Structure 1
Amino acid sequence: MKTTHVVIGVLACAAGVQPAIAKEGDFLVRGRAILVAPTESSGPVTPGFPGSEVGVSNSVMPEVDFTYMLTDNVGAELILATTKHDAQGRGTLSGFDELASTWVLPPTLTLQYHFAPEGKVRPYVGAGVNYTIFYSTKASDALVTAIGATDVKMDDSFGYTLQAGVDIDLNEKMFLNLDVKYIDMDTTARLRTGAATNTARISIDPIVAGVGIGFRF
């Protein structure tokens, strides 16, 4: 009997939660913890390392995003985060757990469609563009030991982004957010060792999964 009363009480509390209701003119601010998981592929590091490939490590970091609701259903979201990744040897370079490291700054702008804007559970989908800046890129100690002092540069990337997520109300102003994105991200890495230059074309194409808390203003 007591269990029944508890269940009824929980359901009554849930029913009493007022939806945050994202509507035209609102700002939504979210803080997320994200996992950036590259689905990478690459060509060989040429001309010096035939038969080689380059992998890219996962990264976990915080992220902040801002959404402005253009209408009750349509929002524009700017996503800001920076993550650190290692370039790892594959194929004939598989002896190198780390070839180089880089920081990645990928500001991303998406246009979203929010379903059920007056509901307590509000799924959305989005698509947009991404510009990725690679910075503080450097060769690993193991690579320098093997081939000598090496300068590493990675070209910036411009591509598309696909997104899906859901906001789940916690109270009138605060909501839980679950979000996943696919980012088209390609770069050319250049390794200069003395007079020699080796290059590799890398498709990073990460899936970015995040969970966090949002607020409506």
Structure 2
Amino acid sequence: MKALRIALFATAALAVAGAAQAQDFQPKQKGTIMLNVRLTDVSSKADDAITTAAGAATGLNVDVKRDTVPTIGISYFLTDHVAIEAIAGTSKHTVKAVGPATNVQVHDNWVLPPVVALQYHFAPDAKVSPYVGAGINYMLFYNDKDKNGFKVKLDDGFGYALQAGVDIATAGKWSVNVDAKKIFFETDASINGGALKSKVKLDPWVISAGVGYKF
């Protein structure tokens, strides 16, 4: 999170300096391809109950740790205002079982959550150009590692995403970008062959800052 705050500060500083000095910039328009390279914080507030196979309470809940990673987004402008963006990145998360007297790591896994979003850009010909978007994602869990005698299986699947952000043109084809996505995704977790289970609402916030280039 500290690294993301530094990136956000640097992005804002670049935007202010670039916007002040730029004599010209390339606006967004139909046919533009835009590449954004970002530093991204992926944070889930999952705290769902862990139960027995029969549904009885165990007093334990799921805790999923955040990660900060590089990501990329590629947008294609269908019109001056409407674009479609594909966003990709991969992050590593530690899963814990926590309770009144328990705080134990049970699983590490990587997740690849590509998002494809349809966006509306409010001011494509302005230096400061905000946008909103909505789309779908697919959560793919891989390269997992069980810990402390637990065996955990997480189900892959589809979710959906909402997005808001802003591009700030600097000079020429360059810009800086700040972007926020809320991904809605629920997975079934099976622990120790189904002896324990949880329906985990991951629903992560994906907060990013970076630089963009138009082709």
Distance across 2 between alignment mates of 1:130 and 1:86: 21
Distance across 2 between alignment mates of 1:66 and 1:60: 20
Tell me, which stretches of 5 or more residues in structure 1 are unaligned? 1-9, 145-149
Deviations 1:96-121 (A, max 9, x none): 1x211110100100000001111001
Distance 1:116 1:135, change over 3 A: same
Task: Give 1:117's aligned residue.
Answer: 124
Tell me, which stretches of 5 or more residues in structure 2 are unaligned? 1-15
Whether 2:83 is the aligned partner of 1:82: answer no
Distance across 1 between alignment mates of 2:96 and 2:118: 34
Question: Structure 2 counterpart of 1:30, which letter?
Answer: N
> What's the TM-score, normalizing by structure 1?
0.84
> What's the TM-score, normalizing by structure 2?
0.85
Work out which of the two has the higher radius of gyration on C-alpha atoms and give 1 or 2: 1
Task: Give 1:60's aligned residue.
Answer: 68
Q: Which 4+ runs in 1 deviate beyond 4 A?
A: none
Whether 2:141 is the aligned partner of 1:134: answer yes
| C-alpha displacement of 1:135 | 0.9
Conserved in 1, the CA contact under 8 Å of 2:61 and 2:97?
Answer: yes
| C-alpha displacement of 1:159 | 1.3
Question: Structure 2 counterpart of 1:86, which letter?
Answer: T
| C-alpha displacement of 1:89 | 1.7
Map 1:147-162 onto structure 2 (within 5 A): 150-162=150-162
| C-alpha displacement of 1:24 | 0.4
Conserved in 1, the CA contact under 8 Å of 2:96 and 2:103?
Answer: no
Question: Structure 1 counterpart of 2:70, which letter?
Answer: P
| C-alpha displacement of 1:153 | 1.4
What secondary structure is seen at the aligned counterpart in 1 of 2:102? coil
Question: Structure 2 counterpart of 1:29, which letter?
Answer: L
| C-alpha displacement of 1:186 | 1.1
Task: Give 2:12's aligned residue.
Answer: none
Identity of aligned residues (%): 37
What secondary structure is seen at the aligned counterpart in 1 of 2:152? strand
Task: Give 2:31's aligned residue.
Answer: 25
What secondary structure is seen at the aligned counterpart in 1 of 2:38? strand
Distance across 2 between alignment mates of 1:93 and 1:29: 47
